[in-house]
A = this chain, B = another copy of it.
């Protein structure tokens, strides 16, 4: 069932037993969409669902919708639903609340659950510990395949998508992994230690989520275990959570480069959009004022050769474009881990070479254009040389600014564009108008 009306009708008109039996046929994502179309009190629908399914809905709901959904239920029912939720999604829910609201939910949980959730909440939300779930299946090396299957049968579908079963020693230290398919194709009395893979790639609990996503991209895993510094397994991270993270990190880089808040949505409010964009435009205004200040130094020169004003946008614009090319490449390179300490010097040299070659080409074209437009060879020389110099400055600053910002701990995507534009505008005008001032006698 994917059709929204069909889903709503099914829930409204079926007895509880039928719902219980067939609810697995409705994907929680489709159910949430259908619920969004229901104009009446959502509890009419939600009350007819089993706890496990409501917990699934909360798992799949957007972080900022989870609490609203949960709040519809009585305190008593809330506790039951929470105990069925995935730990990582519950922590995401709690992460959107203030301390009072958090405590209100936590008081409904049993001691063991509270302890687990408090530990999870203590991790940085953008670290492996902050995104992991604690529902995983672990067995011992000395277990047999048959024992493992029996154990799996006793487990409710509570554990997150167990494609891998983790093998631990008595101290819960991770020893190996057995893919679920290996369990099926092995004879019942096979020992786990004979079929487990020992070389297991895991994420330390404090690893940054961006690095975690690099592991998934590199190896194509469905899930990886998270371990503490003793090698004890604490949880697992599954690929669906990583896709969400990748999408967020992408949008963040792209938006920050353009001066947008990463939370801004196409369908957001006007006020939200103003808050996202106006501050960055005001910062850019400071940049623009610096550029204007540079131009104003040469007003005497411009008054004598007005054609300089005509060519000003060209110098600044092309410098800005070339700078943003290098900048975008470097920001992306940093994000996907392509830039290391060893290859930095080589990349800078390469960018300088590109600046020189592109600068020579564009300088020549613009120089010839300037010569014919103004009818002065000297003018062509001035604009062509300014273009060459600004293109070199553009690639150097497009490289250096993000690298240096990263070194001092500022997100390069956030602030680089402003700095690079300032450099190419100010120096571009300075080269162009300064050169014109020096060569004034040949230009008039």
Per-residue B-contact encoding for A295-313, CB less than 8 Å = 1, 0 else:
1100100110011111111
Q: Quick one: given A27-B201, A311-B292, are A243 and B239 in contact (CB under 8 Å)?
A: yes
Q: Are B217 and A329 in contact (CB under 8 A)?
A: no
Contacts of A322 in B (CB 8 A): 277, 281
Contacts of A277 in B (CB 8 A): 322, 325, 354, 358
Docked CA distance A288–B257 (Å): 22
What residue in chain B is nearest A278 (Cβ atoms)?
Answer: B358
Instruction: Summarize A's interface: helix, strand, loop or mixed.
Output: helix
Q: Are A217 and B295 in contact (CB under 8 A)?
A: no
Number of interface residues of A (CB under 8 A): 113
Q: Are B201 and A217 in contact (CB under 8 A)?
A: no
Contacts of A201 in B (CB 8 A): 2, 27
Docked CA distance A218–B361 (Å): 47
Number of identical protomers: 2
Does A26 sit within 8 A of B, measured CB to CB? yes
Name 20 interchain pairs, CB-CB below 8 A, sorted by A.
A2-B199, A24-B197, A27-B219, A157-B181, A180-B180, A216-B243, A220-B240, A243-B246, A250-B250, A254-B328, A266-B338, A267-B347, A270-B350, A277-B322, A278-B361, A281-B325, A288-B318, A289-B314, A291-B313, A316-B317
A: residues with CB less than 8 A from B are 1-2, 24-27, 29, 60, 149, 152-153, 157, 161-163, 180-181, 183-185, 197-199, 201, 216-222, 239-240, 242-244, 246-247, 250-251, 253-255, 257-260, 264-267, 270, 273-274, 277-278, 280-282, 284-285, 287-289, 291-292, 295-296, 299, 302-303, 306-314, 316-318, 320-322, 324-325, 327-330, 332-333, 336, 338-339, 343, 346-347, 350, 353-354, 357-358, 361-362, 365-366, 369, 421, 425, 429
